[in-house]
Amino acid sequence: MRGHLPAADHGVMDPEPALYTIRINGHLGVTLLSAFPAMAARPDGAHTVLTGPLDRSALYGVLAEIEALGLDLLEVRQLTGEG
Amino acid sequence: MAHTTARLIDRGDLLGALDRAAARTVTIISAPAGSGKTSLLRAWADAQGERRRLAVLLVQRDQQDAQQFWLALLNAVRDASAATGRAAPPAATPEFNPPAMVDRVLAELADASPGITLVIDDLHELNSPQALALLTRLLTNLPPGAHAMLTTRHDLRLGLHQLRLAGELAEIRAADLRFTERETRLLLDVSGIALSESGAALLHQRTEGWAAGLRLAAISLAGHPDPERFVAEFSGSDRTVAEYLIAEMLERQPADVQDLLLRTSLLDRVSAELADLLTGRSDSERMLLALADANAFVLPLDPERTWFRYHHLFGDLLRLELRRTLPTEVPALHRRAAGWFIRQGRAVDAIRHTQAAGDWPDAARLLADHSFSLTLDGQAQTMQALERAFPPGEDHPELALVRAGGELVHGHLDEAAAHLSVAETYAATAPPDRQRRLQVAIASLRLSLARRRGHLAGVLEQVRFLDSPLTGQSDEDIALGSDLRAVALMNLGAVEAWTLALPDAERHLRQGAALAREIGRPYLEVGCLSELGFASKIEPFATTQLRCLEAVALAERHGWGAEPVISPALSTMAGTQVWLGEFDQAERWLQRTAQALQTDRGPIMRLVLHHTTAILRACRGRLPEALEEFSAAEQLRSQLEGPHALASQVTGWRLATLARLGRTGEARAALAALSAFDDERAGSGEILNAHAVICLADGDPAGALGAVQPVVDGTAPVIGYVTVMEAHLLAGHAHRELGDQRAANQAVERALTLGEADRLVLPFAMTFSRELLEGLPPHETAHGALLAGILDALQGSSRAPGDQRPSPDAEELSPGELRVLRYLPTNLSRPEIAGELSVSVNTVSTHVRSIYAKLQVTDRSSAVQRARELRLLAAGRAR
């Protein structure tokens, strides 16, 4: 798994949802996509990029789902406000 | 482990690696879903044969209940060690005692030879930090010969650094589990798939050696007309491996199999009957067996192959597909499943499916109805997990009942009462068909609450309500009603015992025990018998001990020998031993009681523990410690409501101990406060005796005689005849101080007469009557043997072999005390010593008492011996 996680927040739990992109190896078909209803998906080369607003709790929920489905997680990135 | 399918290849190298790893104490296989962990584990287990005994546990999906996990583990260990003809299989208890549970598992592992290997599969599903912490403790304390093998999808916070440093931890990770190209070709061969070398290489590359991918591909490739093309297309697709191949596999199945797989995917476990129910067919059994034979994704859970589960990954994808293709049917499927589980009496599964169907009000009602029996079944944590699953917008008022039960289990009495009030408010306005059930449930929780607080009035209220017959009830209602009735009888009997309504206590506890046995609730039976032991105070001690031992034996048969439920019987055994002068045995029973109470925060048993400890310390002459314990007991009283059995004893003896430590001023003040505040209690025999002790300590024997007069002539209310015995002995002391040896002897004789039946030692020990007894000439007593026996016991108490602790604070004797001490080795009497020192007899008496307290002895010769040990009598010291 060649991803990196967002920088530690120095102990402050962020209650507000932030925009995240999550890059997964392979294209996700309709079935797998239905596991991530809160996120928009687009293919990017051989990968799939999921984008959506997630608070901390939801973020770890998505990561757990990715683990449960045996998907290959490549990158998790928090977008900081710039488009 | 259940039967393994034949299509697994022999991954000899990997098995060898696992074997080498398994030589260490703990092996962890940590790799993502579908890496082949479980298959490897099964292959390894099959290869072990006789060499190792395996205790296998598959962790349930989202297991949040620490007790359920640990019970399952304990059962697995017992199965592996083939524990036959021993204690009954461990049953759950409402109160979970984590350290005791770990100890039990360790004990079973230690006893087993050859050693047992724990195999725990899917450990990442254990969502209970408590259970995980306990597991760390287990793994770092495994006895020699015991091993553990764990599989998990992600690394766990297990704290096994010590093991790692010691080289006793082996790890197998995803990279190790990947199929090599050679193994890929082997898999294809074994599955009868004809693929070219380049085709096999392509397949290996595309799946990256991922076990699940390869197996899925093999399913589709077997019998495929053009395997090369399949692999080429597969390689050319960008779809994720799992989704592509599962879709392919599903497509290949006949329609009825597809239907079966999809509809049953929402179950944790599948049986033919359930499958028929969800598909509306009758041939699910055939299909399930065929699937189990064909691949490693449908796994049988038992040797008879009646229950199956789907490989998690497979099931998850099927579930997603079901939601996507048949969305409107999903709630109905869940409801059908819930109905089946209700008919099977499996409340937890039923509630889960009802929640999944989105029927929150129904789920709330189900949970509330079953919260009581879930608690009794030791599934309190499961119950709380179910309660947490309700979304904020679906908070049903009946859930207050569930919350009250949860708080009660943890001993949070105030919080429980608050939730109960909420539930009561709702119950008053609930629809009529719910009202009765709710009220019964509320009443039983109030009963438990009242019992924990020792509040008899509260208990009686609730029991009257529960006693009214449950008419026209369903089977379920009757079962629920029996549970409630048994618990009600137990709680009622317990409170009656506590407030000394003893004949009622005995009747109710016996009824409760009989009912509990009838309905198969061993925990309640043990509870009732334990309280019965506690309630047997007015019986002859032999009867009391018999009852306590019966309760303890039953508890031990079920593995509850160290649980809070048996503490009443344990403490009563300790108490009877103290009364009989068997101080060492009493010590042991007290230790067991303390251990059993580790997880119970209820004030009543703690009070009893302090009380019994206090009198044991006092009998051994350790007065400062005794005082601490009496004071602790008295402080706990504030947490209770209403009067209780031990009240006057605790107060009386506490005051007496104060006086004996020379703090008569404090004692008198407390006595005065008591008389002002609680006239009735101030007139009890126990308090009058304390008054006498204070008088004696102050050198006022006449006052002492006056104080005990009502006790001696039977006009003062007493807890039992032992108080009267004490009174006689105190009178004896007083007579002796007044120089009337004959009256003293008569008083002692009266005490001996009272004590002959039970052969009690305690009153003699508590009043420090050794010298009194020695002063009684053998020919003047009709109880020579008893006298000798008591003296023996008292002798033993001051030089108890188990009591060899060096005195932590051998307090300095004052100069006055040292002067008196020097005369103790002589045979001078106190008046004579007083003469030598030109002080009053009272002063000598006070000094002597203080010397005894500081040296922690109870008689003159022991004081001399101790003083010699401490070299207090060395020449030149006593100025």
Say if the Cβ atoms of A70 and B313 lie within 8 Å: yes
**Interval A12-62: pLDDT, tens:** 555 688 999 999 999 999 999 999 999 999 999 999 999 999 999 999 999
**Which chain A residues have a beta carbon less than 8 Å from that of B321?**
31
Say if the Cβ atoms of B317 and A69 lie within 8 Å: yes
Say if the Cβ atoms of A32 and B212 lie within 8 Å: no
Q: Does B235 touch chain A (CB under 8 A)?
A: no
First and final CA of chain A: distance in angstroms? 27
| Residue of A29, A67, A72 with shortest CB distance to B243 | A29
Q: Does B487 touch chain A (CB under 8 A)?
A: no
pLDDT at B85: 52
**Which chain A residues have a beta carbon less than 8 Å from that of B247?**
29, 31
CB atoms within 10 A of CB B432: 6
CA distance B192 to chain A (A): 27
pLDDT at B802: 42
Q: How far apart (Å, rounded) are the C-alpha atoms in residues B416 and B419?
A: 5
Say if the Cβ atoms of B243 and A31 lie within 8 Å: yes
Q: Is residue A9 part of a domain?
A: no
Mutation pick from A66, A69, A74 vs chain B, by most beta carbons of B within 10 Å, is A69
HSE-up of residue B473 (Cα within 13 Å, Cβ side): 16
Say if the Cβ atoms of A27 and B317 lie within 8 Å: no
Q: Is residue A12 part of a domain?
A: no
Say if the Cβ atoms of B239 and A69 lie within 8 Å: no
Q: Does B249 touch chain A (CB under 8 A)?
A: no
DSSP B180: P
Q: How far apart (Å, rounded) are the C-alpha atoms in residues B612 and B725?
A: 19
CATH number assigned to the domain comprising residue A22: 3.30.70
Q: Which residues of A touch B (CB under 8 A)?
A: 24-32, 34-35, 43, 46, 67-72
- Residue B58: what are its φ and ψ, rounded to 5°? -100, 120
Q: Which residues of B665-680 are buried (b: 16+ CB within 10 A; e: fewer)?
A: eebbebbeebeeebee
Q: Does B34 touch chain A (CB under 8 A)?
A: yes
CA distance A82 to chain B (A): 30
Give the pair of three-digit tokens for residue B197.
Answer: 């070398």
CA distance B556 to chain A (A): 43
Cα A58-A63-A67 angle, rounded to 5 deg: 145
Number of A to B CB contacts under 8 A, please give it.
58
Expressed as residue numbers, the domain containing A27 is 18-79
pTM confidence score: 0.74
Mutation pick from A1, A30, A32, A73 vs chain B, by most beta carbons of B within 10 Å, is A32
| Interface subset of B 536-575, CB within 8 angstroms of A | none
Give the pair of three-digit tokens for residue B530.
Answer: 């334990």
Give the pair of three-digit tokens for residue B595.
Answer: 């251990």
Q: What is the Cα gyration radius of chain B?
A: 36
Burial class (CB in 10 A: 0-12, 13-18, 19+), B879: exposed
Say if the Cβ atoms of A68 and B312 lie within 8 Å: yes
Say if the Cβ atoms of B324 and A71 lie within 8 Å: no
Mutation pick from B30, B320, B321, B326 vs chain A, by most beta carbons of A within 10 Å, is B320
Q: How far apart (Å, rounded) are the C-alpha atoms in residues B298 and B293?
A: 8
**Minimum CA–CA partner of A33 in chain B:** B320
CA distance B35 to chain A (A): 9
Q: Does B312 touch chain A (CB under 8 A)?
A: yes
Asked whether residue A5 carries a pLDDT value surpassing 60, the answer given is: no
pLDDT at B137: 93
**Minimum CA–CA partner of B325 in chain A:** A31
CA distance B181 to chain A (A): 21
CB B309 within 8 A of CB B268: yes
Domain ranges of chain B: 12-177, 181-252, 646-803, 815-869
**Interval B233-261: pLDDT, tens:** 999 888 999 899 888 888 888 999 999 99
Low-confidence ranges of chain B (pLDDT < 70): 1-10, 83-89, 296, 456, 464-480, 537-538, 599-601, 641-643, 645, 796-811, 827, 869, 871, 873-879
* Architecture in CATH of B646-803: Alpha Horseshoe (1.25)
Pairing of strands A40-44, A47-54: antiparallel
Q: What's the complex ipTM?
A: 0.82
**Which chain A residues have a beta carbon less than 8 Å from that of B236?**
none
Say if the Cβ atoms of A34 and B323 lie within 8 Å: yes
Say if the Cβ atoms of A31 and B321 lie within 8 Å: yes
Q: How far apart (Å, rounded) are the C-alpha atoms in residues B650 and B632?
A: 10
Counting the structural domains of chain A, the total is 1
Q: How far apart (Å, rounded) are the C-alpha atoms in residues B37 and B51?
A: 21
Q: How far apart (Å, rounded) are the C-alpha atoms in residues B330 and B197?
A: 45
What is B12-177's CATH number?
A: 3.40.50.300
**Minimum CA–CA partner of B125 in chain A:** A68
* Architecture in CATH of B815-869: Orthogonal Bundle (1.10)
> Which three-class secondary structure state does DSSP give residue B294?
helix
**Minimum CA–CA partner of A70 in chain B:** B33
B12-177 matches B815-869 in fold:
no
CA distance A56 to chain B (A): 18
